[in-house]
Chains A and B, each alone.
Chain A
Amino acid sequence: MTRDETVALVADILSGIAPEADLSALPGDADLREALDLDSMDIVNFVAALHERTGRPIPEADTPKLLTLDGVVAYFEADAR
């Protein structure tokens, strides 16, 4: 996926978890948990939604790669190659 597609997907998923979140103001390397006050249940739901929306298997060990916007973008860019 392109960066724009991934960011749009993340924004869409997060609008259901943290409705007041404004991703446009968020630095790409900011920890989503800190910036958006997400707890472990939110992260489980976020990763589950990424999996369901993209169809890509996401091993639990990869969760730490998905905790920043840049991380999610890189994760799904690598997938396309």
Chain B
Amino acid sequence: MPSLGADMEAGTLVEWKVAPGDRVRRGDIVAVVETQKGAIEIEIFEAGVVRELAVAPGSRVPVGALLALVGTEGAMQTPAPAAVAPIGPQPAVSLPSASPPPAPQPLAGARPLRTTPAARRRAGALGIALDGLRGTGVDGAICLADLPAGAPPRRGGFDPLGMRKAIAAAMGRSKREIPHYYLSQTVDLAPALERIERLNAGRSPPERLLPAAIMLRAAALAVAETPELNGFWGEDGFRPGDGVHVGWAVALRGGGLVAPAIRHADRMPLDALMTAMRDLVARARGGGLRGSELTDATITVTSLGDRGAESVLPIIHPPQVAILGFGRIVERPWVVGGTVVPRRVATLTLAGDHRASDGHRGGLLLARIDALLQRPETL
């Protein structure tokens, strides 16, 4: 059972995606595990042939315990097995030791069966096979509405108490261990928003961009130039990330949030980033996040959206060392060329880990994001 975060102690095996005798490759999804953050697809980090499934669906399994045996290519003739997920239990302050391989691109090819955790739970309680159902949720996910009414649905697609405990554990650790510093800068968003509006004017609804996409793009590009703020803090100090993998904070219905990683976000053009964000939000809320997405993020970005507060002083998600926040876009008086004009602006904030960087470096990051957003045609 892999650890999907410093706060995870156990997971419940929901479903096997492989059977004994199946050949698997690195990055294949082999199982679905229910965690405090919802149902997560578990990838395998070894190639080989599945020999034995050691755990039955429905079992609660502690982190580090054996899930299955896989015969690796070199050991096919011997009974030396390898555990499904060679990520052992992590000490309280460890780096994600086995950085999983890049996951297969989620946007191409056949989509796996998607089910919200609530629907999965009710289907289990009612003894209904999910394969025969037509999903009507976002991106075809099977949701509660697709199942016959049974017990009253629980609000949200996960256990709210478990989610609250997971957030409390991670944020409590952050506040105990990380000496945060905070920076804030108001950014003129008019040029970036005008660019988004121009692009959207000729597009059909499914192809439209959200302002958050261009903000995330600017943030990812700027983070790539500020490696001190992109990575992990562990027992041996700071370890830079192997790329800019931005954890995009997604609020879940009914409370709670999760910040799965968009790998190499700095290399994605605007449209690809928007597609990735839509996909991530749908899977965060509807089930189907992959384990590596919960552990890969090298920095987190949170955007409060159009009904949020004007600014956020965010809390770093350990073992990361920084988090960026975009407040709600508001129209405010702004001085342009000596004249006060109404302008759409947003407050950009940064919380940094003082063990890994200082405010000077953090200020450069905010200035760089601001500068990129003033030249949106390059984004």
Judging by beta carbons under 8 Å apart, are A44 and B118 in contact? no
A57 vs B254: C-alpha distance in the bound complex, in angstroms? 32
Judging by beta carbons under 8 Å apart, are A44 and B208 in contact? yes
Asked, given contacts A40-B305, A51-B204, whether A16 binds B136 with beta carbons under 8 Å apart, the answer is yes
Mask of A1-27 contacts with B, CB within 8 angstroms, 1/0: 000000000001001111110000000
Judging by beta carbons under 8 Å apart, are A20 and B200 in contact? no
A20 vs B137: C-alpha distance in the bound complex, in angstroms? 12
A59 vs B203: C-alpha distance in the bound complex, in angstroms? 8
Q: Which residue of A lies closest to B138 (CB)?
A: A16
Which residues of B sit under 8 angstroms from A34, Cβ to Cβ?
307
Q: Which residue of A lies closest to B282 (CB)?
A: A45
Task: Count contacts on A: residues with CB < 8 A to the other chain.
Answer: 24
Which residues of A sit under 8 angstroms from B206, Cβ to Cβ?
48, 51-52
The contact of A44 among B144, B210, B307, by CB within 8 Å, is: B210
At the interface, is chain A mostly helix, strand, loop or mixed?
A: helix
Question: B143 CB to closest chain A CB, in angstroms?
Answer: 5
- A79 in the interface (beta carbon within 8 A): no
A73 vs B137: C-alpha distance in the bound complex, in angstroms? 22
Query: What total of A-B pairs shows CB separation below 8 Å?
Result: 70
Judging by beta carbons under 8 Å apart, are A20 and B153 in contact? yes
- A72 in the interface (beta carbon within 8 A): no
Question: B118 CB to closest chain A CB, in angstroms?
Answer: 7
Mask of B253-283 contacts with A, CB within 8 angstroms, 1/0: 1100000000000000000000001100110
A15 vs B146: C-alpha distance in the bound complex, in angstroms? 9
Judging by beta carbons under 8 Å apart, are B201 and A20 in contact? no
Which residues of A sit under 8 angstroms from B278, Cβ to Cβ?
41, 44-45
- A30 in the interface (beta carbon within 8 A): no
Question: A13 CB to closest chain B CB, in angstroms?
Answer: 9
Within 8 A of A (CB), among B210-226: 210-212
The contact of B145 among A19, A40, A41, A45, by CB within 8 Å, is: A19
The chain A residues found within 8 Å of chain B, CB to CB, are: 12, 15-20, 33-34, 37, 39-41, 44-45, 47-48, 50-52, 57-60
The chain B residues found within 8 Å of chain A, CB to CB, are: 116, 118, 136-138, 141, 143-145, 153, 155-157, 197, 200-201, 203-206, 208, 210-212, 251, 253-254, 277-278, 281-282, 305-307
A-B contact pairs, 13 of them (CB 8 A): A15-B137, A19-B145, A19-B157, A39-B306, A39-B307, A40-B211, A40-B305, A41-B210, A41-B212, A44-B208, A48-B205, A51-B206, A60-B197
